[in-house]
Amino acid sequence: MENLLQNVENHVLNVLRSKLEPSYLYHNIGHTLRVVRGVEILIDGEKIDNEDANKLKIAAWFHDIGYINGSANHEDKSVEMAAEFLKTQKVNAAFISKISALILATKMGHEAQNNLEYIIRDADSMHFAQKDFLDISELLRLEWEQTSNIYLTEIEWIEKNIEFFTRNHTYYSTYALENWLPVKDKNLTSLYKKLRKLKIEDKKNTEKSKELALKKTKKITPERGIETMFRVTLRNHITLSDIADTKANILLSVNAIIISMILANLFPKLDNPSNEHLIWPTLILVGFTLTTMIFSVIATRPNVTSGKFTKADVKAQKVNLLFFGNFHKMKLSEFEWAIGELMKDRNYLYSSMTKDLYFLGKVLDRKYKILRVAYMIFVAGIIASVIAFGITFFNIGIREI
């Protein structure tokens, strides 16, 4: 089941990375990661058994993958894509049916029928009980603008959020009611305060200024929305990087244990002529283990950069001043001058932030590719070693007969 979960995670991340339109600023990898994390928290909080926990995790990974084909009926599309992939993993029809039911439980207005549906619905709205709820909510507003041409003023958007909080949403699970509902209530209070403040400010403006502001809002993307997009996207990149490093550390730890056991138990016995048959299986196991460790280290190894730039580079906007590797060898005075130039030019600033996100993505791509190879080597090594030991002992048994 662990292999299935790993395969599901890799598949969903690859599909969303390669096929999801960038205009989906909310329903993207970041949202999927939040829902998976929410499911994991509720599994622990509700003491869910392993079998049901696995169903919830798989459903959480697949629940919004259908957005690669648009938002209309995306749950049904997600069910189809989940079923198609799980069949390739030799999962039985009954299990697939339960996964499909959990995905469909995330539909708007669905009445949850059991505790597992309660959990996945709660996880899907975990962000209502997060401190950065307003930032995450803003991404959904921008997504509506870009994908559906739905434009709402800030007052209309807050009113819609308040309406959803009070009329269309509730937490079901005991853990969510005890731990998330209080934070959600605080966020609701913040929404009411913000709405009151905006209405007071709105009364001070004339009808003419309202019309001009509305036209301006429709013509240009709000600065706050852009900053929110960069902030949340960067946070998602960092989360994915942490996941990759954790996986590499797991491989290193497991293989280090295997090496230690070999050195302690097998190597001292190999100088005995009666144990010559163990030499090759042991060498195979050691070889694959060391290779896996090497690839794990390579996946987490940082790249070394020059750490210097020139004034010409800054004026030509060729250097990304937001990455420490480009300035760590510079003098403070030179760096302060360069940052001053960056802050003067809005386009240069956004260009630097875009480059920073792009190269972080390139690093993530490299990490995950190397980690995939490392896991394949590890699995192949275990299989090859077991086969080698089995053949050796089988041959010894024949000779004894």
pLDDT average, residue stretch 70-96: 93
In the prediction, which pLDDT does 120 show? 95
Per-residue pLDDT tens digits for 351-364? 777 777 777 777 77
Structural domain count of the chain: 3
105 and 4 both lie in a single domain = yes
**pLDDT category of residue 316 using cuts at 50, 70 and 90:** low
The residue that leads in pLDDT, 279 or 1, is 279
Q: Is the pLDDT of residue 222 over 80?
A: no
Q: What share of the chain is helix, strand, coil (3-state, %, to 5)?
A: 80, 0, 20
Per-residue pLDDT tens digits for 93-139? 999 999 999 999 999 888 888 999 999 999 999 999 998 898 999 99
CATH of residue 61: 1.10.3210.10
Residue with tokens 């509720």: 42
Q: State the DSSP H helix or E strand holding residue 383, giving kind and residue range, or none if neither.
A: helix 346-400
Per-residue pLDDT tens digits for 329-387? 667 776 677 777 766 666 777 777 777 777 777 777 788 888 888 888 888 888 888 88
Per-residue pLDDT tens digits for 152-209? 999 999 999 999 999 889 999 999 999 999 999 999 999 999 999 988 888 877 666 6
In the prediction, which pLDDT does 323 show? 59
- Whether 50 maps to a domain, the answer reads yes
pLDDT average, residue stretch 75-91: 93
Provide the domain limits for residue 207. 127-220
175 and 294 both lie in a single domain = no
20 and 159 both lie in a single domain = no
- Structure-token pair, residue 338: 């360069």
What mean pLDDT, rounded, does the chain reach?
83
Handedness of CA 109, 110, 116, 120 (dihedral sign): negative
206 and 331 both lie in a single domain = no
- Whether 267 maps to a domain, the answer reads yes
94 and 209 both lie in a single domain = no
**pLDDT category of residue 214 using cuts at 50, 70 and 90:** low
Cα separation, 26 vs 127, whole angstroms: 11
- Whether 206 maps to a domain, the answer reads yes
In the prediction, which pLDDT does 38 show? 95
260 and 382 both lie in a single domain = yes
CA angle 305, 370, 63 (to 5 degrees): 115
Boundary residue ending a domain (198, 220, 242): 220
- Whether 227 maps to a domain, the answer reads no
Q: State the DSSP H helix or E strand holding residue 303, giving kind and residue range, or none if neither.
A: none
Boundary residue ending a domain (187, 220, 253): 220
- Whether 374 maps to a domain, the answer reads yes
258 and 391 both lie in a single domain = yes
